[in-house]
Structures are given as C-alpha cells and as structure tokens.
Homo-oligomer: A and B are copies of this chain.
Amino acid sequence: LTTSTSRYGLAVESTRERLIDAATRLLDEGGPAAVTLRDVGRMAGVSHNAPYKHFADKEDLLAAVAARELARQRVRRRRSPDAEDRPADEVLRAMMHRYVRWALRHPARFKLTFGSWSTDSAELAAAATDARSALISAVERAQAAHTLGAGDPERVAALILATAHGAVDLALGGHVSRTGKGRADPYDVVDDLLDRLRP
C-alpha cells in the first residue's frame, strides 16, 4: 500500500502517489504533452526533477498512471454485482457499456492505456490479461445461457472488444457525429453487435 495514515488520522500520500495524482490530472486536462515534469513536481510540492527519484523517466511515470488506472478498473470489476442474479447477456452488455463510459469520460487515460509501451511493465501486462479473461468468462456464461451465439469464446470476446474499442476511438476523433439520423454513438454500435450475435 502506498497510502499510510498519520497518527493524527490524516491520510498521507507518499510523494510517489502524489506524483501520479498530479500526472493524471495534467493528462486529463491536456494529454501526454501537458504532463511536464516541471508541472508534475510543482503540483506535488517537490522540485522539477524529484520525479526521477521515483520513475526512470517521463514514460515510466505515464506507465504508472496507466497501471493505476487498470488496477482501479479491476477493483471496480470485482465489486460489481455479477453473474448470479442478472441474466448473463445483460452482464456482458453492462460490462461493455462500462468500458465505453470510462473511455468517453477519460479519453486521455483511454488513449494512454491502450497505446504502445516500450516499457513493458509486468503490472500493465497482468492488468490487461485480467480484463481479457473477465470478458471471456462473461462471453462463456452468456453462451451457456444461450443468449449469445456459439463460437470460440476467445474469438467472440476479441470481436466484442475490438468493436467497442473502435467505436470509442472513432467517436473521440470526432469521426462519428453523435447526432443526426442513422448515426450511432459507441453505445449503439456495441448494442448493434450484441443484438446480431444472438443465437
């Protein structure tokens, strides 16, 4: 754990954690270019090169932002009321809608997380694998309940993820106008696919 509690009961964030906080805020406001180590340091109350004591370089700091984002998604996924009470196809649909909502709300984090990493962090790889297997098992449950067509679950999962990912990315680029008849927002695109994947 990176957050400790002082004897006065105040949550005290480590410098490392405050640096990641600052980087995330700057990223949300202006993309990776706006994450200058000078501003990061200033926001965290340290000098402009204190970050180098915690991260190898700027990319390593951004990798930590992405890793924390994925870790939080994992926690949220574990907390969400799952397969037991709701129909499996609804669970799957809700999972993809959550993905779209997160991406639209935090476009810079979305772009960062799915960008290329020369720093191959084990943390990032593990989080990605975890998300992938959660999607695959949701697909398997929906197939078992006969609310989703048959086929290799990994292939079906890859198809669903690609569609959701692409719909969001095109929407963020402004290449899909959200209004106008016949136009589909990312939620609609995901729904269209899931409807057509029915058995």
Contacts and interface: CB of A to CB of B under 8 A. Distances in A.
Interface of A: 114-117, 128, 149, 151-152, 154-156, 158-159, 161-167, 169-170, 172-176, 182-184, 186, 188-189, 192-193, 196-197
Contact of A175 (B128, B155, B175, B192): B128
Number of copies: 2
Across the A-B interface, give the 10 residue pairs with the lowest CB-CB distance, nearest first.
A166-B166, A165-B166, A154-B182, A162-B166, A162-B167, A163-B163, A114-B173, A158-B184, A162-B189, A159-B192
A182 B116 contact: no
B159 A114 contact: no
Contacts of A149: 196
* SS class, residues of chain A in contact with chain B: helix
A170 B174 contact: no
A152 B182 contact: yes
Contacts of A193: 159, 163, 193
Contact of A169 (B154, B158, B169, B182): B169
Q: Identify which of A163, A166, A184, A189 gathers the most chain B CB atoms within 10 Å of its CB.
A: A166
Given A114-B170, A155-B184, A159-B184, 6 more contacts: A115-B173, A116-B174, A158-B184, A162-B170, A162-B189, A164-B166
B170 A165 contact: yes
Contacts of A164: 166
Contacts of A184: 154-155, 158-159
A188 B155 contact: yes
Contacts of A162: 163, 166-167, 170, 186, 189
